């Protein structure tokens, strides 16, 4: 079945993942758009061989800008759009659900939430508050834009209500820990800037509204606002304890220990260390912090 749905995927050297990703969505659409940042591996020929349309745009510095470029510059002629990462794929049950439900969605519904599960080192991370993670990944093209944030961007609806589908997309990156730590080192700089922005308001985002009793991304955004005001270096420890002990992350086995420690403590501790470093370089005045972030950490405002 072919739905009135386009799927947009961002790529940069994703030859390990792109075939699996595209093959998982062929049952739901033949309108697959790849926004490629000039990959140097076989990403583009693999994608094209599977029927995807590839558009290339230089990497603008973050996912939000690149995805919004795709929304604004690619010939999207479908009612619905879906966002999928190259290292993700959809389960057959979700493909069946999309095929059976999307054509009968009520007119007042503009967004559809799906669940994401994370596989790490071959194991599904079920605990530590990591599953289910509900993400707004399907929306009416006319009714959604991508938040323009340095990190943790979400789709923001400009109209309509949302519903939830029952089945999952899977995040299953096949790269090794060296790649993973390098990526999170890069992310930590942007995350540090994002936390400082929460405190000092350098840049006002047109963002999903933080709300304690809202959608999952609204609750997460609210949590990050609270987290940003906790003491440096104590907060990653508290977060790890909450994930690993209180939310039963220890039941995810050895892979879970590695995941929750690295992603829930090491990464967050690195973010705090970079914030501490930025304070040492610039003090705590808003103007000097913004200057340091721009000139030494290449953060665009």
Report the pLDDT value the prediction gives residue 285, as an integer from 0 to 100.
93
209-241: pLDDT as tens digits: 777 777 777 777 788 889 999 999 999 999 999
* CB 247 within 8 Å of CB 111: no
262-299: pLDDT as tens digits: 999 999 999 999 999 999 999 999 999 999 999 999 88
User: What is the CB neighbour count within 10 angstroms for residue 118?
Assistant: 19
Report the pLDDT value the prediction gives residue 127, as an integer from 0 to 100.
97
Report the pLDDT value the prediction gives residue 207, as an integer from 0 to 100.
65
User: Where residue 2 falls among pLDDT bands split at 50, 70, 90?
Assistant: low
Report the pLDDT value the prediction gives residue 47, as an integer from 0 to 100.
98
Conformational region of residue 287, where left means phi above 0, alpha means psi within -120 to 50, and beta covers everything else: alpha
All structural domains of the chain, each given as residue ranges with its CATH number in brackets, are 5-172 (3.90.550.10), 177-296 (no CATH)
160-171: pLDDT as tens digits: 999 999 999 999
- Residues 6+ positions from 41 with CB-CB distance below 8 Å: 13, 14, 15
- 3-class DSSP assignment, residue 235: helix
Average pLDDT of the chain is: 94
Report the pLDDT value the prediction gives residue 25, as an integer from 0 to 100.
98
User: Where residue 115 falls among pLDDT bands split at 50, 70, 90?
Assistant: very high
∠ CA 29-30-32, rounded to 5° = 95
31-64: pLDDT as tens digits: 999 999 999 999 999 999 999 999 999 999 889 9
- Residues 6+ positions from 135 with CB-CB distance below 8 Å: 113, 114, 115, 116, 154, 169, 216, 217
């Amino acid at each position: 079945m072919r739905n009135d749905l386009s799927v947009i995927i961002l790529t940069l050297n994703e030859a390990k993942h792109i075939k699996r990703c595209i093959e998982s969505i062929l049952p739901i659409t033949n309108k697959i758009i790849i926004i490629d940042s000039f990959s140097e591996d076989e990403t583009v020929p693999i994608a094209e061989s599977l029927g995807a349309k590839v558009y290339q745009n230089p990497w603008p510095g973050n996912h939000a800008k690149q995805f919004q470029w795709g929304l604004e510059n690619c010939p999207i002629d479908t009612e619905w759009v879906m966002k999928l990462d190259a290292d993700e794929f959809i389960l057959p049950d979700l493909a069946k659900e999309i095929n059976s439900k999307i054509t009968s969605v009520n007119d007042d519904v503009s967004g559809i939430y799906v669940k994401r599960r994370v596989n790490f080192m071959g194991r599904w991370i079920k605990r530590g508050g990591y599953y289910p993670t509900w993400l707004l990944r399907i929306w009416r093209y006319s009714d959604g834009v991508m938040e323009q944030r340095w990190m943790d961007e979400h789709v923001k609806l400009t109209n309509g209500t949302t519903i939830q589908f029952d089945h999952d997309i899977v995040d299953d990156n096949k790269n090794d820990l060296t790649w993973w730590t390098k990526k999170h080192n890069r992310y930590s700089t942007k995350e540090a800037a994002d936390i400082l922005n929460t405190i000092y308001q350098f840049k006002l985002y047109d963002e999903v509204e933080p709300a304690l009793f809202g959608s999952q991304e609204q609750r997460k955004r609210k949590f990050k606002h609270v987290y940003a005001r906790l003491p440096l270096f104590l907060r990653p420890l508290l977060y790890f304890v909450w994930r690993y002990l209180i939310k039963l992350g220890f039941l995810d086995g050895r892979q879970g220990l590695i995941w929750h420690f690295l992603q829930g403590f090491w990464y967050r501790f690195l973010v705090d260390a970079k914030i501490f470093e930025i304070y040492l370089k610039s003090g705590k005045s808003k103007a000097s912090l913004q200057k340091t972030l721009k000139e030494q950490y290449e953060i665009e405002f």
